[in-house]
Amino acid sequence: MNNKSITEYFDLSGKVAIVTGGSRGLGLAMSGAFAAVGANVVIASRKLENCETVAAQIKESTGQDCLGVAYHAGEWDANERLLETTLSRFGRVDVLVNNAGMSPLYENLSSVTEALYDKVLAVNLRGPFRLSALVGAHMAATEGGSIINVSSVAAVRPTPTELPYGMAKSGLNALTLGLANAYGPKVRVNCIMPGPFLTDISKAWDLEAFAKNARNNIPLARGGEPDEVIGAALYFATAASSYTTGAVLKIDGGSVYQPA
C-alpha cells in the first residue's frame, strides 16, 4: 500500500505551472489553486497589466512566485516566447493549462467572415496545438509533466450560435488523445470540458433566461461557479491522476445529456 498522505497526492511544491487565459474566469481560479498547493505560476494572457496584477495578488496571498506574461494564443511565435520566458525565469515546466479561448458573436452562419473563422480556430485550437507540442517535447525530455486542455460542451453539442468555437473545441478533444499518445509515458494529457460557468463572460448573458433554462435542462439546475473547476484541475495537474491520460472530463452540471 502506498504510504503517501492524501495531501501529498495533490501537492505541487517545487513545480511550475503555465496557465493561458490565467488572469480571469476559470484560468484565474486554476492559477490560484495551483499556487495554493505549492506551484510557481506563469499567468499568460493578452493584457500584460492584468496578468501582472493577478500574479502580484496570488503571490501575496500564497507566497509563491508568480509571473505575468503577455501572450496571444493565436500568434504562432508567441508560444515559443512563452516557453522561453518560463524556462528563463523558473528553469522548468511541470503543468500546462491551455485555457485561453474566445467565442465571438455573429448574426448567423452565413455572416461568419473568413477573418472571424480563422481567429476562432487560431486561438482555440492552433495555439494549444503549438504550445503543447513545444511544452510536451520539453517535458518528455526532462522530468515529465501534465498538460490540461480546457474544452467545452460545445465540442459535443455545438449550437448554430457558436459553431466555429464548437468545431475548434472538438479538435481540442482530439488533440488531447493525440498528445497523450505522442508524449507518454512521461507526459500525461487530459481535458476538462466545462459547461456554462458564471464567469465574467456571463455578464453578457440574459441571466434570467439562463436561470430558467438551467432549471429545465441542467440536472443541477444552475451554472457553475469558477472555483468549481479547481477539483478537476488539481486532479489532472498532480500525482492524484498518475494513471490517467487521454481523458475528457465534463464539468457541466449534467447538461450535455439533456435536450438543448
Give the residue numbers marked as catalytic.
Answer: 165
6/103 Cα distance (integer angstroms): 38
Helix (H) or strand (E) holding 98: strand 95-98
Cell numbers placing 88: 528563463
93/197 Cα distance (integer angstroms): 28
151/229 Cα distance (integer angstroms): 12
Name the phi and psi angles at 97, rounded to 5.
-115, 115
Question: Is the separation of the CB atoms in 12 and 90 below 8 Å?
Answer: no
Cell numbers placing 2: 502506498
Cα distances from 134 to residues 59, 84, 147, 204, in angstroms, run 27, 10, 11, 35
Q: Which residues neighbour 253 within 8 Å (Cβ) at sequence distance 6 or greater? A: 195, 196, 214, 218, 219, 220, 221, 222, 223, 224
41/168 Cα distance (integer angstroms): 26
Cis peptide leading into 185, omega within 30 of 0? yes
Percentages of the chain per state (helix, strand, coil), in multiples of 5: 55, 15, 30
